[in-house]
Chains A and B, each alone.
Chain A
Amino acid sequence: MSKYITKRVLVSLGTLIVIVFVLFLMLDKMPGSPFNDEKLTETQRALLYAKYGLDQPFFVRFWKYFTSMLKGDLGVSYVISKNKAVSELVKGPLWLSIRIGARAMALGTVLGLLLGIAAALNHNTWIDTLCSFISIIGVSVPSYVFALLLAYYIGFVLKLTPILYNSRNVAASMILPTIALAMFPTANISRFTRSEMIDVLNSEYILLVEAKGVRQSALIFRHALRNTLIPIITIMGPILVNLLTGSMVVEKVFGIPGIGMLMVQAIQNNDYNVVVACAFVYSAMYIAMMLIVDVLYGIIDPRIRVAKGSA
């Protein structure tokens, strides 16, 4: 197992280094410069380039950035907020995005499990059909379409919540984005829970539990649900990825100053260090999630451990 984890961690680290390099390369090829002000003369621009070390060759810059990154220094912002450390600039938006994402994930998991269990218990009835219908819609329709619908009907027509992000009322502002983002996890988890639960409920050990006269609630939550949960970990990866992508658009729909918004803003202003930092944060979160899901699955299901450890 430790060999498998070591291998996965090494691959992840390698991927991260490659990502930083690719990001740097792409930004180098990008049209435009961070100092677009028309009042700047050529000499001033050259001075600015020299000040931030942008006049040096590509590999020198990359090496400098990379070594200082290892010390936790992500450079300074050139445009968005002058000379502020990027690590400071990224912190606030990142925290906001993570909060919304975590809430959506929690909401989606709980709702998904409940729907899935309800569908499995009422297999082949109208409840089952209804749950399947909800989940197929949730899987197919992109989260920003939900975001738009929610913004229009709940935010604008019914005026229950703010339609755009309001920094004075953060709690209420987070309701709609959370619901919009929770649709995909809900749908996916309920679909999976349903099919797993039906399998588990038909197994012999459940028959034994039933024969022993265990209460229905204990049967489901203590005996059946536990074995249902194991395979669900496999779909956590795709769900989290979808959440990351979805969050960027949903942030735009609701005007939330999160990490996605910051990245778009930085891209538009050619603020190199901020773009690299945001993209890096996205990639690091993605890779970390994949790593955790893989390792967790190996720990929970010994069969995977054996198969992958020996390979």
Chain B
Amino acid sequence: MSEVLKTHDPLLGDGYSEEDFVFVQQGERLSDKAYKTTSYWRDVWSHFSKNKGALVGFVIIFIIALMAIIGPMISGHSYDTIIIEHQNLPPKIPGIFGGVERGIDVYASKGVTDVNYWFGTDYDGRDMFTRVWQGTRISLLVAFVAVIIDIVIGMSYGLISGYFGGKVDMIMQRFAEILNGIPTLVIVTLLGLVLPPGIASIIFALMITGWIGMARISRAEVLKLKESEYILASKTLGAKDFSIIFKDILPNIFGQLVIMAMFSIPNAIFTEAFLSFVGLGIQPPQASLGSLISDGYKSLTIHPYQIAAPVIVLALLMLSFNLFADGLRDAFDPSMKQM
């Protein structure tokens, strides 16, 4: 090398001497830098954790779910004990809420000095704190069960319809199309009338229409995947149709379904709240967020605190689930990022 440089190089031109050039990296061992491999889940997590909204959503969901579990236990009241003397007491938390409504200390005027109701009491003297978390518990339960059933039905339906194609697909798709043509609202309202009111009926009503979206997504994914080589390989090895559907295709579309499920949970919560709000859902003394809002609505102008707590919890819950689902979608598939 150095000998080559000593010979005259026209490119060096005048004014430069050999000393102007310094050798670099001679003592180093050069190799490609080895980066740590990231697993799929670590990649998902790194995308997810960068999304502040999604993290906040997750934390709020976690807190609300936790309160839904432990709230009724720590309150020291039960959700259905009626104490007539304790009617319509405003919230009282020492240091935050004084239990004062329109300038009057209702607790003192009613002679209730030994208990503090954190969220106040309702028209029957039931503790709102317990009822709100009990209601959240039921709303979450209804939403989760309905969505899990939706996934199972919708996934199987879409997978079978998409995989077999032809006549099977035609008939199954027409059926789904017609069912999808009926507004959810009409189905849910009428089912609410025909079935005895209660949790099971609400879940059933949510289930009737909820699975169609899932079925559509899984069908579309199957249509994409079923022509791929690994399926062909599986077929050549003699795999049965159902083993291909559930062992080879299903794991590949499961992420999509989970995201879809996260988006349907707030929908289910909303539909349940809607049903209970129009009086077709959960019946007293049971409570759900919707029925609490419906009850509080009746005294909106007199005791606004009765509707405040369930409305805030409902709004926070729906907001967080949407934020969380958005984050999850972006994390699983950054190319789908919309916002």
- Interface of A toward B, CB cutoff 8 Å: 11-12, 14-16, 18-19, 22-23, 26-27, 29-31, 132, 136-137, 139-142, 144-145, 148-149, 151-152, 156, 163, 191, 194-195, 241, 244-245, 248-249, 252-253, 263-264, 267, 275, 279, 282-283, 286-287, 290
CA distance A14 to B319 in the complex (A): 38
Which residues on the B side are within 8 Å of A141 (C-beta)? 315, 318-319
- A-chain residues with CB within 8 Å of residue B53 when the two chains form the complex: 136
Q: Which residues of A contact B328 (CB under 8 A)?
A: none
The answer on a CB contact under 8 Å between B314 and A145 is yes
- Note all chain B residues with C-beta closer than 8 A to A191: 338-339
Q: Does B189 contact A (CB under 8 A)?
A: yes
Of B318, B322, B326, B339, the residue contacting A195 (CB under 8 A) is B339
Q: A282, B181: Cβ atoms under 8 Å? A: no
B215, CB-defined interface residue at 8 Å: no
With A15-B177, A26-B194 given, is the CB distance from A244 to B319 under 8 Å? no
Q: Which residue of A lies closest to B181 (CB)?
A: A15
> Quick one: closest A residue to B269, CB to CB?
A142
Q: B182 an interface residue at 8 Å Cβ cutoff?
A: yes
Q: Is the pair A264, B190 in contact by a Cβ cutoff of 8 Å?
A: no
B338 and A156: CB pair below 8 A?
Answer: no
Give which listed residue, A15, A140, A194, contacts B178 with CB less than 8 A.
A15
Q: Is B87 an interface residue (CB 8 A)?
A: no
User: Judging by beta carbons under 8 Å apart, are B190 and A287 in contact?
Assistant: no
Whether A267 lies near B193 (C-beta < 8 A) is yes
Residues of B within 8 A of A22 (CB): 182
Which residues of chain B are within 8 angstroms of A275 by Cβ–Cβ distance? 190
Q: Do residues A263 and B193 form an inter-chain contact, with CB atoms below 8 A?
A: no
Across-interface contacts of A29 in B (CB, < 8 A): 194
Find B319's partner among A140, A245, A248 (CB 8 Å cutoff): A140
Identify B181's interface contact among A144, A163, A249, A286, CB under 8 A.
Answer: A286
* 0 or 1 for each of B182-202: is its CB under 8 Å from A? (1 = yes): 111110011101100000000
Check if B323 is an interface residue, CB within 8 A of chain A: yes
Are A249 and B278 closer than 8 Å at their CB atoms? yes
Q: How far is the CA of A142 from the CA of B274 in the complex (A)?
A: 9
A30-B194, A148-B297, A248-B278 as given contacts; A283 in contact with B319, CB under 8 Å: no
**Which one of A137, A144, A286 contacts B277 once the chains associate, using CB atoms below 8 Å?**
A144
| Contacts A136-B326, A248-B185, A282-B185 known; 9 new A-B pairs at CB < 8 A | A15-B177, A26-B191, A140-B322, A152-B301, A156-B301, A195-B339, A279-B189, A279-B190, A286-B182
> Is B189 a contact of A267 with CB atoms below 8 Å?
yes
Which partner residue on chain A sits nearest B319 by CB separation?
A140
| B2 shortest CB reach to chain A, Å | 52
* B13 CB to nearest chain A CB (Å): 42
Q: Which residue of B lies closest to A275 (CB)?
A: B190
Binding site for A on B (CB under 8 A): 53, 174, 177-178, 181-186, 189-191, 193-194, 266, 270, 273-274, 277-278, 293, 297, 300-301, 304, 307, 311, 314-315, 318-319, 321-323, 326, 338-339
* A19 & B181 in contact (Cβ 8 Å cutoff): yes
Inter-chain CB contacts under 8 Å: number = 115
Complex alpha-carbon distance, A27 and B270, angstroms = 25
Answer whether A142 and B178 are a contact pair too, CB < 8 Å, given A156-B301, A249-B277.
Answer: no
Q: Distance in Å from the Cβ of B69 to the closest Cβ of chain A?
A: 23
Q: Given the complex of chains A and B, what is the CA–CA distance between A287 and B190 in angstroms?
A: 18
Task: Kindly state the separation between the CA atoms of A27 and B220 in the bound complex, as whole angstroms.
Answer: 36
CB neighbours (8 Å) of A31 from chain B are 194
Q: Does the CB pair A290–B181 fall under 8 Å?
A: yes
Cβ–Cβ contact A244 & B185, under 8 A: yes
Distance from A250 Cβ to chain B, minimum over Cβ atoms (Å): 11
Instruction: Contact check, B318 vs A140: say whether CB atoms are below 8 A apart.
Output: yes
When chains A and B are docked, how far (Å) is the Cα of A286 from the Cα of B209? 15
Chain A residue contacts of B189, Cβ below 8 A: 263, 267, 279
Chain A residues within 8 Å of B319, by CB = 136-137, 140-141
10 closest cross-chain pairs (CB), A and B: A15-B181, A140-B319, A140-B322, A140-B318, A286-B183, A279-B186, A141-B315, A15-B178, A245-B185, A26-B190
How long is the Cα–Cα vector from A19 to B304 in the complex, in angstroms?
A: 41
Shortest Cβ gap from B159 to chain A (Å):
21
Evaluate contact between A14 and B183: CB separation under 8 angstroms.
Answer: no
Output the nearest chain B residue to A28 by Cβ-Cβ distance: B194
Q: Are A145 and B311 in contact (CB under 8 A)?
A: yes
Cα–Cα distance between A165 and B250 once the two chains are bound (Å): 52
Across the interface, which residues of A come within 8 angstroms of B278, CB to CB?
Answer: 248-249, 252, 264
Find out whether the CB atom of B273 lies under 8 angstroms from the CB atom of A30. no
- B322 close to A249 (CB less than 8 A): no
A18/B270 in contact, CB under 8 A? no
Chain B residues whose C-beta falls within 8 Å of the C-beta of A145 in the assembled complex: 293, 311, 314-315
**Residues of B with C-beta under 8 A to A151:** 300
Q: Chain B residues near A244: list those with CB within 8 A.
A: 183, 185
A137 to B277, CA, bound (A): 21
| 30 cross-chain CB contacts under 8 A | A11-B177, A11-B178, A14-B178, A15-B181, A18-B181, A26-B191, A29-B194, A31-B194, A132-B339, A136-B53, A140-B266, A140-B315, A140-B321, A141-B319, A142-B315, A144-B274, A148-B300, A194-B339, A195-B338, A241-B183, A241-B184, A245-B185, A249-B278, A252-B278, A267-B193, A279-B190, A282-B183, A283-B182, A283-B183, A283-B186
